Structure 1
């Protein structure tokens, strides 16, 4: 894996209080980037009253992958973020 063991733990585990994800900032730059993406995506979905299923259909990204991103359980790849950004029309 690129970066060695840096992604051995999910992003939410790299915050002081994982239960406060995505509100709890992270000192790890990668986890902080994922946190900011999750916050932006969650806000767009909320504003547009879109379900995970609707986001999955519209973006072509698996529903569980979106749920894992929002929950801080996974490290999304660039293609996932790009598809979600294209679908929402927002910079994530």
Structure 2
């Protein structure tokens, strides 16, 4: 189970170049790579829909700061957060893992 010390480091800080988030190399960090993929997909959806973080917060019921932290890679989002965001956007954010 992921937790404890495994989540004490922000996902972006596991990248070779954290400044490149959400397109940084996260080799060997599967969970952080999933968060990165979710952040990249979410950023793309916001841009495509011309939707602000504040507007998405109102639509989804997810706190705006939580959305900001997810996009910035500074937090580990929980399943409820992802489910609410996916429901508000009407599509998946979670990537297919190969």
Normalised by the length of structure 2, the TM-score is 0.89
Distance apart, 1:37 and its partner CA: 0.3
Distance apart, 1:3 and its partner CA: 3.8
Aligned to 2:22: 22
Aligned residues: CA RMSD? 1.2
Matched residues in 2 for 1:38 and 1:90: separation?
A: 14
CA contact (8 A) 1:22 1:38 kept: yes
User: Which structure 1 residue ranges, 5 or more long, are not aligned?
Assistant: none
Aligned to 1:45: 46
Aligned length: 92
Superposed CA deviations along residues 4-55 of structure 1, whole A, max 9, x for unmatched, are 4111100000110000000113120110000000000000000000001000
After superposing on structure 2, the runs of 4+ consecutive aligned residues of structure 1 that deviate more than 6 Å are: none
Normalised by the length of structure 1, the TM-score is 0.95
Secondary structure class of the residue paired with 2:91: coil
Superposed CA deviations along residues 57-78 of structure 1, whole A, max 9, x for unmatched, are 0000000000000000000000
